[in-house]
Amino acid sequence: MTALATTPTARTRAAGPVHAVLRLQRGVLIAWAMVFTVTAGVLLWAYGPGGNAAAADWKRECSAPGCDWSAPITNYHLAYAGAEFVIGFIPYLAALMAGAVVGRELENGTARLAWTQGISPTRWLATTLAVPAALITAGSIVLVLLHRLLYDAHQVPVTWSWWNEATFVPNGTLAIAFPLLGLAIGALAGLLRRRLVSSMGLAFAATALALTTLGFARPHLWPWATITGSDYETPPNVLYGDGGAVTSTGAHIADPMCRDSTACLKAHDVTGFYSEYHPASHFWPLQLVETGIALALTALVLGAAFTLLRRRTA
């Protein structure tokens, strides 16, 4: 009888922090549910009736270059562009949410109250982050799958490049890793500032800095493909990198800008030109390398957050 009586109590205590997080964060979790539902609905509409109508109009009116887009084609492109924008903004939402929650609970004393009721500071922070992390990750996985479904269908074959920033992130694992990085940055910002508004501001700025830096580094995370010829040439739908002249020894040099001057080309020993680029086959290598870096940064930021919390509550 004693074992039967204590088992429910133990389970209740174990579930307590999770229930508390759900109560305290219900506003932001409801907002996330709305963002997810609307974005998923827009992607499904663009894949289904919206894409079908746009494809039909494209075949009927745009078989030749220079056609005017009809309303279905415009709506289709607005739908997928809007969905891509929202998916790309989710890391910032995660950072704002974490910064607001952690900063608010430290500011109003809710966190300290929890620590006096048998919940350690480490467990408090872990539970505070684990619940939204699980929900955001699950939702992001679904949105990535829906985006890839729409991208692979490619109903209207214009203005959609795999290397474009707005498309590259939602089309792979970065859309799952970036929100986790934003969540970690937001938590650290909340611990540093311990105020709701300033924590949100710092979280947003730091997330923007991290994602912008990764975006600039992205083209250099995988070796470029190189093509040489009598002029600058690359295949279609590639991310162009650098280019220059090739000498008779095969060395790559800066373009001397000789244009068609044979004497100038001979003087600089130029025999051709080269171009560096990333083809579509480099999508997953670039995506996975950057995802690994983003997850490593997430681990580092989380480690800093937990270390700071332990030092302040020792």
Query: In this predicted model, what pLDDT tens digit does every residue of 131-170 receive, in sequence order?
Result: 899 999 999 999 999 999 999 998 888 778 999 999 999 9
What is the mean predicted confidence (pLDDT) over 198-209? 96
Contact 187, 98 (CB under 8 A): yes
Report how far apart, in Å, the C-alpha atoms of 113 and of each of 3, 82, 107, 121 are: 30, 42, 12, 10
| pTM, full prediction | 0.89
* Mean pLDDT calculated for residue range 9-13: 43
b/e per residue 23-52 (b: at least 16 CB within 10 A):
ebbeebbeebeebbeebbebbbbbbeebbe
pLDDT digits (tens, 9 = 90+) for 281-307: 999 999 999 999 999 999 999 999 999
Query: 150: which 2 tokens?
Result: 């729409």
Give mean pLDDT, residues 230-238: 84
Give the pLDDT score at 92.
Answer: 97
Alpha-carbon span 205 to 192, nearest angstrom: 14
| Rounded distance between C-alpha atoms, residue 183 and residue 161, angstroms | 29
Residue 311 confidence (pLDDT) above 80: yes
State CA 88 to chain mean position distance: 5
Report the C-alpha gap between 127 and 23 in whole angstroms: 13
CB atoms inside a 10 Å sphere around CB 290: 23
Domain residues of the chain, as ranges? 18-219+282-312, 239-278
| Surface-to-core class of residue 278, CB atoms within 10 Å of its CB (0-12 exposed, 13-18 middle, 19+ buried) | buried
Residue 278: φ, ψ to 5°: -110, 115
- Mean pLDDT over each residue of the chain, to the nearest integer: 88
At residue 10, the pLDDT reads 40
Statement: residue 56 has pLDDT above 70: yes
Per-residue pLDDT at 45: 97
Q: How many CB atoms lie within 10 A of CB 9?
A: 9
Give per-residue pLDDT as tens, 86-123. 999 999 999 999 999 899 888 888 878 877 777 888 88
